[in-house]
A and B are shown apart, each in its own frame.
Chain A
Amino acid sequence: MNEDDQLRYWRANLRLVGALLGVWFLVSYGAGILFVEQLNEVYLLGFPLGFWFAQQGSIYVFIGLILVYCVVMDRIEARFRGGND
């Protein structure tokens, strides 16, 4: 693997991490804290929406984020290692 590939691998990693952390911030600090009062005006399936994000939704999204990270990183690494991807 040459230096170019290594740099591209690392950039791909950083882009992915950055995008996922953006979502991480939006659901917890955005929907669960900063905009919770506005979202609480909306009721969905028995929950005020902001309250749901703070106590349920953000956790589901967190689990999903790590899953996406694992799957995409597996693909990226397979590609740069010259796997059959």
Chain B
Amino acid sequence: MDIQSWTLLFVGLSFLLYIGIAVATRVGSTKGFYVAGQGVPAIANGMATAADWMSAASFISMAGLISFMGYTGGVYLMGWTGGYVLLALLLAPYLRKFGKYTVPDFVGDRYYSDVARLVAVFCAIFVSFTYVAGQMRGVGVVFSRFLEVDITSGVLIGVGIVFFYAVLGGMKGITWTQVAQYCVLIVAFLIPAIGISWQLTGDAIPQLGFGGTVVEGEHAGKTVLHLIDELHRELGFPEYTAAFVEGKKSMIDVFAITLALMAGTAGLPHVIIRFYTVSNARAARWSAFWALLFIGTLYTTAPAVAVFARVNLIETVHQTPYGEAPPWFRDWEDAGLIAWVDKNEDGRIDYRPGDAFSGSPSFVNEPSGEPVRGELGQRRLDNELTAGPNELYVDRDIMVLANPEIARLPAWVVALVAAGGLAAALSTAAGLLLVISSAVAHDLGKRILMPDMSEKRELFVARAAAALAVIVAGYLGINPPGFVAQVVAFAFGLAASSFFPVIVLGIFSRRVTKEAGIAGMCTGILFTAVYILYFKFLNPSMNTAEHWLWGISPEGIGVVGMVLNFMVMGVVSKFTAPPPQEVQDALMAIRSPLVERLEGADDPPPDH
């Protein structure tokens, strides 16, 4: 069987599983739709959170990005896991004790204001749509490469599946499909990683193979990390393991990006909302632990995959005559994600630092749509060539998907990776769509516009909002803005600068006032959004370290937005009237271990 048939088989089977779960878990109440009836066991919630969390960016793009960034790729590894420590220690248990359904719900009640609620609704929808666009693009990449359908039909198939289980099953359907999707994606990520680790280092555990020694070929006996540093020196790249050398990010930027990603992780509404689905604060804490354990399994494997992929890429491609390039090279070239220009006309692929040409590849096609090819069969481009010696363009998004092929693993492994990539993208998309749906139906509809709406009607509105959000997400997938990880990185800056400070201070201080909350959120998100828009879209030529504020790139600027938010809240609280007594009482209640026990009437009286 070839890769395509295997892919059809795995993807088809996994989709059937998701549909089966959706039918089995359909819901009839708003509590079921928003928070899965609050009866999800901690370990299942941990798994669902892990799938919810690990998106197309984590699965498809992250190892690829690390592969090209070396040490600096650690910002994603630390940033996207360290946030769970903040979640577990500072947010999740208290939010669960406070006992609402959504993040805007907490913000609206804690800051006793519908304006605050409205700002939170706006932030939640904005952050979620930014993030969902990246997922749909991931779905498109997988479909176009492995099933050879065009991106549009690929996205439509994905949209159809999510539509089915999100609209029908709400949070309950999403939770149990996410549990299944975690299993699919982790198996799909680990099997090729183990295969490649075994092949290269003779150690089946990638985390150990990462520090192991190469077993075969001319480099046998060297450790993998020594070898990659050596290859990088030979080709003129900065050393892989070196930290803040020329050509890599500065210390302050690495610090800022890591912190922005951590605070952003803890402030993302689709992650927080998962902690409302368990029965009490204790279960919320334990699900944070399970979630990070499940996430850590992939996140400690990814940097090993990154370095193996880097070694294999350099060894199989650099100085190889184009005619002898392995089949995956041409497949990805046909998919438009690899490009080669023979600058020195020696027929060999030269891989060096710097861009081979300016911009992303623009391939020349015949009027019939057939690609125009050079004498060796390579696709022709009309980009302006750069002066540097590098002849190769490799899209960072392909490293995980191409990795099993580069390492010559069997076809079914390659197909499994495709199914895993889809599971990662679809599970995250569904979680985001539910945030949008609950923000519209519950926070905007029930709490602000139509407080006397019946539960049946609210459920209908929630389903309609979910359906509409799926369609918008599909549109964004077909007309994608930029590449996956880059788009997703913005969502973190925005979440770090808006939600994180408002929720943390809202829990730990009884003194912050509604005026402070509103002013803080607006300041944080406006500052961050303007900075990002300016450097990324309005004036991209200025997007270099010497023009940045204190050398902090747009990816890390959420930290400054966050600090501004905290400061504005502190100052405004000093000059405004303290929160009303019932809010202060509610905050005292979440500082007590008795809160949930009081819900059960048969509490034994404390005996000391």
Contact = CB atoms under 8 A, between A and B. Distances in A.
Contacts of B82: 24, 28, 58, 62
Interface in A27-85: 28-29, 32-34, 36-37, 40, 45-48, 50-52, 54-56, 58-60, 62-63, 65-67, 69-70, 73-74, 76-77, 80-82
A37 B244 contact: yes
A65 B593 contact: no
B363 interface: no
Q: For the side of the interface on A, what is the size category?
A: 35 or more
Given A46-B223, A59-B78, A82 B607 contact: yes
B74 interface: yes
Secondary structure at chain A's binding surface: helix, strand, loop or mixed? helix
A51 B225 contact: yes
Indicate the member of B292, B591, B593, B597 with the most A CB atoms within 10 Å.
Answer: B593
A63 B84 CA distance: 9
A5 B608 CA distance: 9
Interface in B238-282: 241-244, 251, 254-255, 258-259, 282
B593 A80 contact: yes
Contacts of A52: 211
Q: For the side of the interface on B, what is the size category?
A: 35 or more
A5 to B, nearest CB: 8
A77 B593 contact: yes
A59 B71 contact: no
Nearest to A77: B593
A76 B93 CA distance: 14
B241 A51 contact: yes
Contacts of A6: 588, 591-592
Contacts of A40: 241-243
A58 B81 CA distance: 9
Contacts of A47: 210-211, 225
Nearest to B222: A46
A21 B243 contact: no
Given A54-B74, A80-B606, A81-B606, A48 B88 contact: no
Interface stretch (B159-167, B296-304, B329-337, B343-351): B296-304
Contacts of A62: 81-82, 84-85, 292, 296
Contact of A81 (B73, B81, B224, B594): B594
Contacts of B212: 46
A39 B190 CA distance: 29
Contacts of A63: 289, 292-293, 296
Secondary structure at chain B's binding surface: helix, strand, loop or mixed? helix
Contacts of A54: 71, 74, 77-78
Nearest to A52: B211
B31 to A, nearest CB: 26
Nearest to B608: A82
Interface string B390-430: 00000000000000000000000000000000000000000
A77 B224 CA distance: 47
Contacts of A59: 77-78, 81, 296, 299-300
Nearest to A68: B289
Contacts of A77: 282, 593
Contacts of A34: 251, 255
B89 A28 contact: no
B109 to A, nearest CB: 21
A81 B255 CA distance: 41
Contacts of A45: 211
Given A56-B303, A59-B299, A62-B81, A69 B224 contact: no
A44 to B, nearest CB: 8
A70 B285 CA distance: 6
Contacts of A66: 84-85, 88-89, 285, 288-289, 292
B90 interface: yes
B607 A20 contact: no
B198 interface: no
Given A36-B71, A48-B225, A51-B241, A28 B78 contact: yes
A47 B82 CA distance: 21
Nearest to B71: A51
Contacts of A76: 593
Indicate the member of B78, B213, B225 with the most A CB atoms within 10 Å.
Answer: B78
Given A20-B89, A54-B78, A81 B597 contact: yes
A3 B591 CA distance: 11
A45 B213 CA distance: 10
Contacts of B81: 58-59, 62
A13 B293 CA distance: 23
Contact of A9 (B74, B84, B591): B591
B604 interface: yes
A76 B285 CA distance: 14
Nearest to A1: B606
Interface of B: 66, 71, 73-74, 77-78, 81-82, 84-85, 88-90, 93, 207, 210-213, 223-225, 241-244, 251, 254-255, 258-259, 282, 285-286, 288-289, 292-293, 296, 299-300, 303, 588, 591-594, 597, 604-608
The 5 residue pairs across chains A and B that have the minimum distance between CB atoms: A46-B211, A54-B74, A82-B606, A55-B303, A77-B593
5 contacts: A29-B255, A36-B244, A55-B73, A80-B606, A81-B594
Given A46-B210, A51-B71, A81-B594, 11 more contacts: A1-B606, A17-B89, A17-B90, A32-B78, A33-B251, A52-B211, A56-B210, A58-B77, A59-B299, A63-B296, A82-B605
